Amino acid sequence: MKTSLIVYASALIFGSVGQASSQNLDFDNIEIYADQVAPHFYSLTASKNMDPLHPEGAGGRIGVYVGPDAIFVVDATYPRLYQKIIQAIRKISDKPIKYLANTHEHRDHVSGNVNFGKHGTTILARQEVREAMIKPQPPEDTVSSTDPARLPTITYGFGPPVKIWMAQETVQLIPLKKAHTDGDTMIKFDESNVIMVGDFYRNYGYPFIDLQEGGTVDGTIEALTVLEANSAPDTKLLPGHGDIVSREDLKFYRQIVLEVKQKVLDAVRAGKSKQDVLSAKLTAPYDSKVNGGLDLLPGGKATTADRFVAAVYDDLKRSTP
Ligand SMILES: [Zn+2]
């Protein structure tokens, strides 16, 4: 009871940010950009400064593997961008879009599933993603949140990677312990040497650990370890939000999470309140190096640094005797 109250209070302060509404975006003027990152792999991102939650690019990144006979897509952003996404994909290939995999359950990654599902694409995700999507959704997205075509039809739990053998590519769906949410998967394309990371790592704003959707600090740290272990120095890491990075870039992010966790833990043990901890501005040593870290979240009251520190506090508070 106590835990859920804390999490709920946090959601009230910081907004239900993962699940925030996308209904008011100017979809007609959002463009989709395709960047080739490997011979058969493309990153699709959307216009900057059009989505208050994602000024670095509206919605979430989409990954597109283009094989000789079929296409594999990762994440589906918002449903109203579907036609533009298909136009971008069709400039690259006319092959069928056989699979869509979701990195996690946030709406900026899954609400576009519905259109892919209706056109016969097989949707794969964690069981936790399917369960989260079945829960009642905000009313504005009625079609994308009630049509059965939106739901993953092949699901798996936290366990060994699920492998999909395409003609010239092995795709590994690597489940992660509760990190950004309780249903995170990173998706590795072995031959392309590309990993679609999801959102437990981001390089626009501070880490977002969504306690409401089952995320945890320790799971985030562990997910970073799994990502590092699966990456070679030249592997391209494509986060759900922000720039494409490499294994080396993870070090700074891991350092932030570890150091902030330790500082917050000390504060929790010393009996400090959440307000004390937020007022201490624990991220100050990193602020100048974290792009968008002090951007205000929709609502204008809290920064992504505040959201991060508050989540760490709430998570540690509920697990510290
Ligand atoms: Zn997310």
The domain locations on the chain are 32-254
Which residue blocks in the chain are alpha helix, DSSP H? 2-14, 82-90, 107-110, 113-118, 127-134, 142-146, 217-229, 250-269, 274-279, 304-319
**Nearest Cα to Cα of residue 187 among 127, 233, 116, 238:** 238
> 190 alpha carbon to ligand 1 midpoint, in Å?
24
> 209 alpha carbon to ligand 1 midpoint, in Å?
9
Q: Which CATH class is domain 32-254?
A: alpha beta
C-beta of residue 27 within 8 angstroms of C-beta of residue 81: yes
> 311 alpha carbon to ligand 1 midpoint, in Å?
14
Question: What's the pLDDT score for residue 13?
Answer: 44
> 220 alpha carbon to ligand 1 midpoint, in Å?
13
> 15 alpha carbon to ligand 1 midpoint, in Å?
14
Confidence class for position 98, pLDDT limits 50, 70, 90: very high
**Nearest Cα to Cα of residue 154 among 144, 146, 162:** 162
> 61 alpha carbon to ligand 1 midpoint, in Å?
11
**Cα(147)–Cα(89) distance, integer angstroms:** 24
> 266 alpha carbon to ligand 1 midpoint, in Å?
28
Q: Would you say residue 16 has pLDDT above 60?
A: no
Q: What is the mean pLDDT of residues 195-216?
A: 96
Q: What is the mean pLDDT of residues 146-175?
A: 96
Tens digit of pLDDT for each residue in 294-307?
999 988 889 999 99
> 71 alpha carbon to ligand 1 midpoint, in Å?
23
Over the chain, what is the mean pLDDT? 91
Tens digit of pLDDT for each residue in 28-59?
888 999 999 999 999 999 888 888 888 888 88
> 186 alpha carbon to ligand 1 midpoint, in Å?
12
**Cα(76)–Cα(129) distance, integer angstroms:** 13
Lowest mean pLDDT among 5-14, 121-130, 245-254: 5-14
> 105 alpha carbon to ligand 1 midpoint, in Å?
7
Q: What is the mean pLDDT of residues 220-225?
A: 98
Q: Would you say residue 141 has pLDDT above 70?
A: no
